[in-house]
Amino acid sequence: MSDALAKLRALKSQAGSSKPLVKAPVSEHPGNPIEMLRRRMAQMSSHSSRARSLHHDRELHGEEIADGLLLTDNYLNLDLDFPSVLDGTFDRSEGIAAEDVVFFDTETTGLSGGTGTRAFMIGIAQYQRNGAGRFDLRVRQLLTTTLGAEREMLSTFAGWLTTSTVFCSYNGKSYDAPLLKTRYRLARMGNPFADLRHVDLLYPTRRQYKGVYENCRLCTIEDRVLRISREDDLPGSEAPAAWLNYLRGGSAHNLRRVGEHNHQDVVTLSKLLLHLVEVQGQSLYSR
């Protein structure tokens, strides 16, 4: 009995001496897995808040003239005085009626062209006479905000052209015109470029300034020849990402900058044409 009693007392003693388990505090050390997860969740919450804030900025300039198609229409008061028919010697061709010129530039989903590349923005500029008989500049831009709006954009652009239109671009013969021709073909629409004259200012610019400057890119000619300085300009290479980001629900900020870039491009073309006409005229006069 004494052995059994001793064992019983030992068991009771062990039972009575047991203490409730206490959870150890979570270490705040940055390497602790739980703390790392907590911090990661906090970062994700912060990023999500910033993303929501950016996505609230969805405002774009222009009037919606069709589903997913925006139009901006601006007049620049240049009040310039030059002949109604511009000397075409700079382009080694006949004269150009100033009011027939359509300066144009596209913003596209890629820089290499090809069937998979589309234009999501088309900008044009045209000389227009003001009340004093001098010339101002009208700038119009079309922007698609949905994939399905491309056909409306192409149709609207074609409606701006006449049989006397003279296209004027910078490297447009090699890039913009062929790209738009492809888009019209894929949309089963007639090509508005087919029978119209196209003056590509890249070639007379090269003849005039090749070897004078490091290159004849439009931005270089703007800066060195026309003395045009752009502020906060979005590089053309970033235009595709800006448009695709907007289509996916992102901020409109960079897409607005694409519009500003395109606007300046066509304004620059209008000034470059007059410059080339003037320079060529001076060189002929000096011979």
pLDDT tens-digit series, residues 82-108: 999 999 999 999 999 999 999 999 999
Q: In Å, what is the CA distance from 1 to each residue of 5, 106, 189?
A: 6, 105, 110
pLDDT tens-digit series, residues 24-44: 444 445 556 556 556 665 665
pLDDT tens-digit series, residues 143-193: 999 999 999 999 999 999 999 999 999 999 999 999 999 999 999 999 998
Q: Which CATH superfamily is domain 58-286 in?
A: Ribonuclease H-like superfamily/Ribonuclease H (3.30.420.10)
Percent helix, percent strand, percent coil in the chain, to nearest 5: 45, 20, 35
Give residue 17's pLDDT: 46
Q: DSSP readout, 207-223? A: HHHBTTBS---HHHHII
Q: Three-state SS string across the chain, please?
A: CHHHHHHHHHHHHHHHHCCCCCCCCCCCCCCCHHHHHHHHHHHHHHHHHHHHHHHCCCCCCCEEEECCEEEEEEEEEEEECCCCEECCHHHCCCCEEHHHEEEEEEEECCCCCCCCCCEEEEEEEEEEECCCCCEEEEEEEEEECCHHHHHHHHHHHHHCCCCCCEEEECCCCCCHHHHHHHHHHHCCCCCCCCCCEEEECHHHHHHHHECCECCCCHHHHHHHHHCCCCCCCCCHHHHHHHHHHHHCCCCCHHHHHHHHHHHHHHHHHHHHHHHHHHHHHHHHHHC
DSSP letter (8 states) at residue 173? T
The reported pTM is 0.79
- Please provide the average confidence, as pLDDT, over all residues in the chain: 85
Phi-psi region of 136 (alpha: psi -120 to 50; beta: other; left: phi over 0): beta
